[in-house]
Amino acid sequence: MAPLWGNVLWLPVLGLVMGIPGVLLVDTRMDSAVYGVVGESVKLWCGFYSTVPVSKFVTVDWRYRQKDGGPTVPILHYQSKAYPILEGSFKDRVTWEGDVERGDASIRIENLRLTDNGTLFCVVRNPPDVHGKVPEMKLTVTLHSLSFKFNTAILLASLVFIPSVLVAIVLLVRMKRAIRRERSRNKKNKKSPIEASQDCVYDDSETAPLHRTSASEKPPSCLVQLCLRCADDSDEY
């Protein structure tokens, strides 16, 4: 019975030990990608959540790895206060902007360089929460901001697109005016049957058709048959 009793006593302890990794974890989050411009500064956000209250023993370690790979190097350590790196390419360019009481472990990098392109890591430990997934952040530094490139692309597209639209509008307006003028001319040249009959009238005294149009003005083609009929009638007389 003694061995069985001993195993029973160990079950709660074993369960507690097995439950620690699942409970005592620090949830750390970062932006997956950050963009900056040469000569300017950029804020690198890192937030965390701990299952226990934040104490004076909380630590934050920022690490950096070059774009081409290689080992990670520390650039800032925080415990009660910030300790930026004292040597290397990030010397005097990293400042602390976090607030651990609010779960903020952010930093800022000043005077960005093209050589700063790489991957950064934010490691937070709040004993007894010392485990957790370490996120990664990709830093991309360019000579010009992405908004500048975007605005330039819009400007170039506008210089090509807007004139084309204006030319198309002008052509459509001209075509519309030409169609209106052509319709107006057709309406003026087209006469009703009453107007056509008035072009050939009879004089009772001379029984001969009198054309109201001048000699130089030719009757419309649609009235030729009517005028021919008038001439036939005058021959019978």
pLDDT of the chain, 237 residues: tens digit per residue: 444 334 433 433 334 444 444 456 899 999 999 999 999 999 999 999 998 999 999 999 999 999 998 999 999 999 999 999 999 999 999 999 999 999 999 999 999 999 999 999 999 999 998 888 899 999 999 998 665 555 555 655 666 778 788 888 988 888 888 888 878 877 766 655 555 555 544 444 444 444 444 444 545 554 555 555 555 555 554
Which among 158, 163, 67 has a CA at the least distance from the CA of 120? Answer: 67
The reported pTM is 0.54
Chain mean position to CA 17 = 51
DSSP H helical segments within the chain, as ranges?
2-23, 146-189, 193-198, 224-236
pLDDT of 35 reads: 96
pLDDT tens-digit readout, 103-160? 999 999 999 999 999 999 999 999 998 888 899 999 999 998 665 555 555 655 666 7
The token duo for 224 is: 């030729």
The token duo for 19 is: 């439950």
Work out the burial of residue 54: count CB atoms within 10 Å of its CB; fewer than 13 is exposed, 13-18 middle, 19 or more buried.
middle
Q: Quote the CA–CA distance of 102 and 84 in Å, as a whole number.
A: 21
